[in-house]
Amino acid sequence: MRDHRTSERPPLPPSTRCRINWADTRSLDDVCAASSASNALAPSHATLDPPGYVAAATSRKSTPKPRAAPTPESIAALKAKKAWDVAFGPAKNLPMNAFMLYMSGAGVQIFSMMVVGMLLTNPIKAALGVQGAFAPLSTPSQPHALLPQKLAFLGAQALCFALGVWKCAGMGLLPTASSDWLAWRAPRLPLEFSPLYS
């Protein structure tokens, strides 16, 4: 029988070292072979995972789903939605314009005239350029697809213009009284003359 303590054997690498149990009756070769097989099946890292660590959940990479190619129907719906946003853009500015008119006062001043002037001229310019406002969203094959949005845009600009006209009426700039037209009224002819005045 060969003595294991006196046999010349090269040192085993760390991955194949085996723990020797002196109470085991098997030979050293059998014990080392079994230990090497268990080391091969064990994971390469010697440290244990911390509590709550799930290797399967963290190692799995989330692959993004491929985005489907946009269809003509989805593009048309997106353009219609953006067109409605452009159409209701002037209506969203109505509360701010009303607050500016309120803060400018009812007197004829430079600031109030500037605010009223912008409120009257900007809707006219926007209404004349309605085709340019919706040009990026229009489709050449469907020229009348954005007609409801354009009408809503013109209606919102009309509301802004009406707000400016109402402010002009409150400031007394509109010729709504009969005294504003006296220069164009014919003088009244008296029916009779009397030298005596009571």
Whether residue 182 lies inside any domain: the answer is no
Whether residue 145 lies inside any domain: the answer is yes
Same domain, 25 and 80: no
Same domain, 21 and 100: no
What's the whole-number mean pLDDT along residues 102-128?
89
Whether residue 117 lies inside any domain: the answer is yes
In this predicted model, which residue has the larger pLDDT, 140 or 100? Answer: 100
Look up the domain containing 16 and give its range.
Answer: 11-42
Whether residue 47 lies inside any domain: the answer is no
The mean of the pLDDT values for the chain is 77
Same domain, 80 and 157: yes
Whether residue 3 lies inside any domain: the answer is no
How confident is the model at residue 24, as a pLDDT? 53
Indicate if the pLDDT at residue 2 is higher than 60: no
Amino acid letter for position 11: P
What's the whole-number mean pLDDT along residues 168-195?
83
Whether residue 25 lies inside any domain: the answer is yes
Whether residue 97 lies inside any domain: the answer is yes
Q: Is 16:32 a contact under the CB 8 Å cutoff?
A: yes
Q: Is 87 exposed, middle or buried (0-12, 13-18, 19+ CB in 10 A)?
A: buried
Same domain, 92 and 23: no
Same domain, 86 and 37: no
pTM metric for this prediction:
0.57
Q: Which residues contact 122 (CB under 8 A, 6 or more apart)?
A: 160
In this predicted model, which residue has the larger pLDDT, 197 or 92? Answer: 92
Closest by CA position to 139, among listed 82, 91, 69 = 82
Same domain, 92 and 16: no
Dig out the tokens for 11 from the structure: 């040192």
Q: Is 164:94 a contact under the CB 8 Å cutoff?
A: no
How confident is the model at residue 54, as a pLDDT? 74
In this predicted model, which residue has the larger pLDDT, 31 or 151? Answer: 151
Whether residue 131 lies inside any domain: the answer is yes
Alpha helices in the chain (DSSP H): 28-41, 55-59, 72-87, 89-92, 94-104, 110-128, 130-133, 147-171
State the total domains in the chain: 2
Same domain, 114 and 26: no
